[in-house]
Chains A and B, each alone.
Chain A
Amino acid sequence: MKRWIYGLLGVGVLVFAGVLIQRALSDSLVYFILPSEYAADPGDYQDRRIRLGGIVSPGTVAFDDTELRLAFEVTDSLETYPVRHFGTPPELFQENTGVVIEGRFEDGVFVSDNLLVKHSEVYEAPKDGEPVDIEALKDTLQ
């Protein structure tokens, strides 16, 4: 009899822990996507924290060294989105490098609080007219 009670108590604790875990998990999953994946379904990522990968578009980088605000555009050569980041650019940040930024979209602008530079040694940007290998880009940035 006692064993049953403790067994039930144990199951109860496990269920409670399970609920806590499930809730916390669904709240804090951060998807890693490319701009074209966002464009395909912006509603999916409404008010969600995401990690956005892509290449820094040439000629779009602007850094305000008084307010420490960095602006640039990120692209996977299918879609391009403007990015606002608070803070100094990392040392290896430059045009045409791969980046992963973490934050969320606000009115079509990606507001980032974490910027990582990825050296994509394997991935080469396609020449004009060639199709983009999105999967390869994603794998190198991940």
Chain B
Amino acid sequence: MTGMGLGPLGNAALLLALAFSLWGVIGGAIGAIRRDARLLTSARMAAYATFLAMTAAVAVMEIALLTDDFSVSYVAETSRSTSPTWVKVVTLWAALEGSLVLWGWLLSGYWALLSFVAPNTPLRPWALTVMAGVQTFFVGVPAILTPPFQTVSPIPMDGPGPNPLLQNHWMMAVHPVLMYLGFVGLTVPFAYAMAALITRLPGSEWMTQTRRWTLIGWGFLTAAIIAGGWWSYEVLGWGGYWAWDPVENVSFLPWLTATAFIHGVQVQERRRMLKAWNLLLITLTFSLTLLGTFLTRSGVVSSVHAFGDGPVGPAFLVFFLIVMAFSLGLVAWRWDQVRDRADLDHPVSREGAILAGNVLLLAMTFAVLLGTIFPLIVEAFTGDKVTVGAPFFDQASLPLWMGVLFLMGVGPLLPWRRAPDQTLRSNLAWMLGAAAVGAAVAAAFGIRGVYPLLTIALSAWNLASLTLLILGAVVPRVRIGTRSVAQVLRSYAFENRRRFGSMIVHFGVVVLALGIMGSSAYRLDEQIRVDFGATTTFAGLELTAVDRFMERTDQRISAGAVVDVARNGTPLATLRPRINTFAGQQMTVPTPAVLYRPLYDIYLNVSSSIGPGQEFVVLRVVRSPLVTWIWVGGFIVALGTLYALTPNRRRVAVTSRAGPEEPVGT
């Protein structure tokens, strides 16, 4: 390359983005204080300019990766010339420096989009200024602390390639992007919350204006967590999907508070209650994404995913503290406006159920956070090195989950404000009946554990609740009109997208809960030696190690076993678990083979060497009941979120008034 190399070009783009986002803060703040329309327009332009500069930085990095320009430090440290194109593209987020650039880019995209679509309300100037402030941090870190565009001299011939665990599965292309889209999506409601405090408008305007953004952020975060689980299932080789590893936990924490927020918002919209609470929840959600990044990127907690230590951790910690001090300070300053004046009329009401669910979700947040940072606390005080095992997280969160499932069933059937009435009692009777039948059937099939039985009973409870909700909406409309059931159902689903979407999401959660129950409580896991040509039995299945195989490409070498799986002599599948060795890497990656089935998966992973002279293979065999339901449930949740997000054409004319009271169970 002649003239300016890609490294300096990328650097310039990052520094330009930093300057633009700084202008977004300064110009935005001065403009908002002086109510200067020209300054505010200029600050909005800064959002577009930042987005363009960040896009340029990402484009330069992608060009450097795709053209194997090893003079760029990030490329030299993480890429490899023999990698397939898709791996080179996603190498942008395969290590810390690049993934911060991606984060900053996605954030600038949201900021620019928000500048473009946000309605011109008194909240907008400050919301955009807060976005600019967050953006300044997320450009400043890659531009100054972890510059990915440094010039390397002498230029190496080739690089090591990304971590083999990341190269080993295409999910790597999806999961981190979803995660960052979730994180930055939830920055928007946070920015509006801060704007609401600054402008003394802590009503529900800030949440109605960001309802979409909240749902988008939450939807992406949910999808990211499920996708991450599926990635570990397909890649890590132990047949599980969730190990309560710190990195998993810190993605789960903002999800919990965001879930609480989505529900709390409804109480504020309907009842003008929980103002301070909702502000706190969204602040917590945003801060937890920062705290999580600090914990996992600073090396303070050991984790299989940790990228190691560096200046990034402290920077995130400082930013986390600033955000906490700023937002809590604002809440305190505006306390007189945000404290609730309305009271809960009756605890057995929609708002009562939502409040109780919020408390449970927050208790879970606290438990998971405590378990994650407890090793730090213990080491600080006693010097002992400890880890908190998975049993802690299970014991602490399972009872709370049962409570959440209980409330998820009963809450949507409860009317706002009013004390319970006759229909509610008959509805509850149906749901209790369903729960009892569910538990009895499960017990008849030999399920004895308390939590599995409870989960099944509560799933039946929720399915009954969903059925009653739909019947309650559809039956009266069928009775009064001339339309058929299908027509009524279709128009109900079309006209109440938000509500119908929430029903789909709740149904997805039930499917998820059953999947988690089955795969964690009834999982069988064994290491078995099989001689080549011989058959062994495992959990009613016959496994035959037919042969070994070897495949070689430019990028990797795979050695594995061909295993026939059969039941009672009927062949089910031929699986090829293998061990991959990537060019440029010493580490080998055992790559499991999975037979996906609706009732249980069979998961094979090679856990011995598989050399030419060896006459046997040792397989780790895992039989996980219902594990597929987790991926299906996650998909349903994402679908429901998407459905709730689609524009509701018929309601556009009446957006100014609150949605009509839903006839519940009548």
Residues of chain A having any CB pair with chain B under 8 Å: 2-3, 6, 9-10, 13-14, 17, 20-21, 23-25, 27-33, 49, 51, 65-66, 68, 86-88, 91, 138, 142
Contacts and interface: CB of A to CB of B under 8 A. Distances in A.
28 contacts: A2-B343, A6-B347, A13-B360, A17-B363, A20-B396, A21-B367, A21-B370, A24-B391, A24-B392, A24-B396, A25-B370, A25-B371, A25-B374, A28-B389, A28-B391, A28-B392, A29-B386, A29-B387, A29-B389, A29-B392, A31-B385, A32-B384, A32-B385, A32-B386, A33-B385, A51-B387, A68-B529, A138-B385
Interface string B361-380: 00100110011001000100
Contacts of A28: 388-392, 395
Contacts, number: 89
A17 B400 contact: yes
Contact of A91 (B396, B609, B616): B609
A25 B360 CA distance: 18
Nearest to B384: A31
A3 B343 CA distance: 7
Contacts of B366: 17, 21
A13 B359 contact: yes
Contacts of B386: 29-32
10 cross-chain pairs, A with B, having the tightest CB-CB distances, nearest first: A24-B395, A28-B392, A17-B363, A32-B385, A28-B389, A28-B391, A88-B608, A24-B396, A24-B392, A88-B618
Interface residues of B, number: 36
B325 interface: no
A142 B302 CA distance: 8
Nearest to A139: B385
B385 A142 contact: yes
Nearest to B620: A87
Interface in B321-358: 343-344, 347, 356
Contacts of B302: 142
Nearest to B383: A135
A25 B368 CA distance: 11
Contact of A68 (B360, B396, B618): B618
A66 B529 contact: yes
Given A32-B386, A32-B387, A91-B609, A17 B367 contact: yes
B343 A29 contact: no
Contacts of A10: 359
B363 A13 contact: yes
Contacts of A29: 374, 378, 386-389, 392
B607 interface: yes
A25 B608 contact: no
B359 A65 contact: no
